[in-house]
Chain A
Amino acid sequence: MTDGNESEPRVFTVETRFQKLARQPGGISREKAIENATAKIEEIKPTFDDWVGTELESLSTLIKTVQAGSAQPDWIEAANLHSRQIRDAGTTMGSELLTFIASSFCEVLDAIEAGAECNMESITCHLDAMFLARQRRYHGMKPADVPELTKGLRRVVEVVSTTPN
């Protein structure tokens, strides 16, 4: 506690409204909460495929402008935005594979942004992999289920990350 010196840290106890209300009786157990939340996620899962499709189409259009040399200077940030969203939603919505590929793609984009060579093949192969992972037969698959694909993408990331511009 403070001893009167203003530069001394003051340590004090706080009870927020969140804590007060959350500790009230009638709460939900961990098991029940997870069960209910999982059911809620199942309700919105049908929207996931369309959403990913829209994100991938936006990415595809963006990459085409890069290939044509007409992209905006901030195209990497725009591509990263789409890729991050797919990565952050994938596993929760049941597609761990999409999260893995999108995460790998983010690494490629980060490396390019940090000065690595802009290798278009490394970009298009990730995009193709995401389109592939979106197909029905890949639903529910984990990265370990497609070792050739995952190893190949890891190799691409390694090469891009170690190739200066």
Chain B
Amino acid sequence: MSRPTINLRDLVVLIADPSPYLSMIAHSILRGFGTNKVLEVRNSMGVVQTLSAQKIDILLCDARLPPHGGLSLTKAIRRKVDNENRMIPILVMSNDTRETTIRQARDAGANMVIAKPMSPASLYDRLAWIALTPRQFVDAPTYFGPDRRFKIEGYPGGVGRRKGDHIVDVAKEEGPSLAQDDIDNLFSAARFGKD
């Protein structure tokens, strides 16, 4: 069976990173993936202006994007009811991959978080995941964004469950089960592709 591929050639990607150098690195990686149209902005205002001026297919947004951070921007994009880009895929780039940060990104409505320094493999895997593993959207009074209940068991075409992995027998249930929040905590690293 052939491995899945992703076609990024005709996509318009917006990189929002305050650092021109780090932005250039991400830009170069995307060029390597075959993306022809990559735009760069340095702050949230640049994102808002670009989104209102042209069609953007995916936003790569730094978590510390000035002035209020990438998570606030993500939340603003998701919560604005009349925003036609409300459902745009958003990949948050962050050097802080602590549990709390990942959770905050998820709750802001980000599709995924990618750790900085980023590698071509980690970026490709996340783009492939977003492209090939569709998630439903949730519109709730306190949240708008991709369904937060998901689990990654390996990226499409990437390193995931290996051929030699064994299925493990699980004991019969005894006593009360874990609450869903506890289960979420246990699996959160895998769920967000934390390497």
Contact = CB atoms under 8 A, between A and B. Distances in A.
Contacts of B140: 9-10
Interface residues of B, number: 54
B57 A17 contact: yes
Contacts of A35: 32
Interface of B: 3-11, 19, 21-22, 24-25, 28-34, 55, 57-58, 64, 87-89, 95, 116-121, 123-125, 127-128, 130-132, 134, 136-141, 143, 147, 157-158
A99 B119 CA distance: 13
A146 interface: no
Contact of A29 (B5, B22, B24): B5
Nearest to A2: B139
Given A18-B130, A36-B33, A85 B19 contact: yes
Contacts of B120: 33-34, 37-38, 41
B134 A21 contact: no
Contact of A36 (B6, B19, B34, B119): B34
Given A16-B88, A37-B120, A38-B120, 17 more contacts: A9-B139, A10-B139, A10-B140, A11-B137, A12-B137, A13-B134, A14-B137, A16-B87, A18-B130, A22-B7, A30-B125, A30-B157, A34-B32, A34-B121, A88-B116, A88-B117, A92-B25
Interface string A3-47: 000010111111111110111111111100111111111011000
